[in-house]
Amino acid sequence: MMFWENLKMAFVSLGSAKLRSFLTMLGIIIGVAAVVAILAIGEGVKQAVRDQITGVVNANAIAVASGKIAVGKSSSGGSAASSVGASTLTPADVNALKNVKHISAVAPLSFISGLVANGSVTTQNSLILATTPAFGQTQTLKFVGGRFLEEQDTNQRVAILGGSAKQELFGDKEALGATIKIRGSDFKVIGVLQASDAAASAISSGPSLENAVYLPISTAATLTGSSPPIIRIIAQIDDAANVNSTADAMREAIKTSHGGQDDFTVLTQKDILSTIDSVLNLLTSFIVAIAAISLLVGGIGIMNIMLVSVTERTREIGLRKAIGASSFTVLSQFMIEAVVLSLFGGGLGIATAVGLATAIGNAAKISPVFTPESILLAVGVSAAVGIVFGIAPAIQAARKRPIQALKAL
């Protein structure tokens, strides 16, 4: 009964000074709105990235990377050796994987240095990749025109352009069937990928493949004078249910091929998503921490106004204690007022966050995701702010003596 009475008195007290109460809540409103909106937009970005990756990276594809990669951590990606171009993967590893159960296709992937040119237009951003026709079976690739590599292209000077590579070299002109120069040699364009389809790949931890130019790996050897080093091996698994067990079998097969050396990393789609989520979570947490400072400011505002309120209501406190109210009753009254003030601010902050995140999402073409966890966090933080910053004023009010009310009359 005492709780409900104090709650009713809290509403009456706050309602008697509406403008002051609103200004006091403003810090809480801004803080909660910023935190909830950032969390919602962060979740929306993560979902958009997941959708892009799951739409491009074949769920049944497994990549073997040279060197050790910290999976699920925000790292630069590879070992010191792999970062400067050294590779621990060999053609023998490719052959070893072909004998692993449940693998239906295996494709090596190599980087080739050099410039790509279309007449006088030269791009220095293009990523020249050498691979085999099996690579097309391990990726979800959509073509504007043409096709991927086939067995008939062995030792032929043909190329497939990623969406950005095509745009940079040809602009709006037709690229299919045209001739480009790679390291001074002519290559015929036999395929052009859609602009968004090469942005992510099962190779992970490397540059975007939007600018990729694919060549037959057999032809690349004639450009470099020797077989190019293999930086990734991509394997296609026959069924999603076999991905985890096959990944373990691949580790054992390559470890045996390397004489027991664990100088490689096996990556699945889940590992890629885990790494990206880790980076995005770190960034979101950093921004939320900055936004949360306004909650501290809001809490200080609540404590300040409650201290003023205690001074202004000395007569009320003294009279209540004179007619029998205990110190605990007075303390709980002011604590409830502080919590109500915080929770109201939190509620308005959540409503503001919905509008703010929706507006930003529409502008950035991202769908914000409001999770129950973020809403509960906002409510919990609001209540905690009210409790923490309401303690000092409540204690001060509880220590008032009845005689003070008589002096104030």
CA distance 213 to 93: 24
**Distances, alpha carbon 304 to alpha carbons 23, 372, 400, in Å:** 12, 32, 18
Q: In this structure, is residue 228 part of a structural domain?
A: yes
> In this structure, are 242 and 213 located in the same domain?
yes
> In this structure, are 108 and 240 located in the same domain?
yes
Residue in 129, 143, 242 with CA at minimum distance from that of residue 190 = 143
- Tokens 């990235």 belong to which residue? 49
Do residues 227 and 91 lie in contact, with contact meaning Cβ atoms separated by under 8 Å?
Answer: yes
* pLDDT 10s digits, 344-399: 888 888 899 889 888 888 887 788 888 888 888 888 888 888 788 888 878 887 77
> In this structure, are 287 and 396 located in the same domain?
yes
Instruction: Using pLDDT thresholds of 50, 70 and 90, give the confidence band for residue 252.
Output: very high
Go through 58-70 and write b for each residue having 16 or more CB atoms within 10 A of its CB, e for each that does not: bebbbbbbbbbbe
Residue 298 is part of which domain span?
2-51+282-408
* pLDDT 10s digits, 390-409: 888 788 877 777 666 556 55
Q: In this structure, is residue 318 part of a structural domain?
A: yes
Decide: helix, strand or coil at residue 64.
Answer: strand
Written as six digits, the tokens of 160 are 């497939």
- Tokens 């930003």 belong to which residue? 360
Q: In this structure, is residue 214 part of a structural domain?
A: yes
**Distances, alpha carbon 329 to alpha carbons 299, 336, 394, 399, 406, in Å:** 23, 11, 10, 11, 20
DSSP labels, 291-340:
HTHHHHHHHHHHHHHHHHHHHHTHHHHHHHHHTT--HHHHHHHHHHHHHH
H or E element at residue 65: strand 61-66
Written as six digits, the tokens of 302 are 């609540």
Share of the chain above pLDDT 90, in %: 18
**Domain count of the fold of the chain:** 2
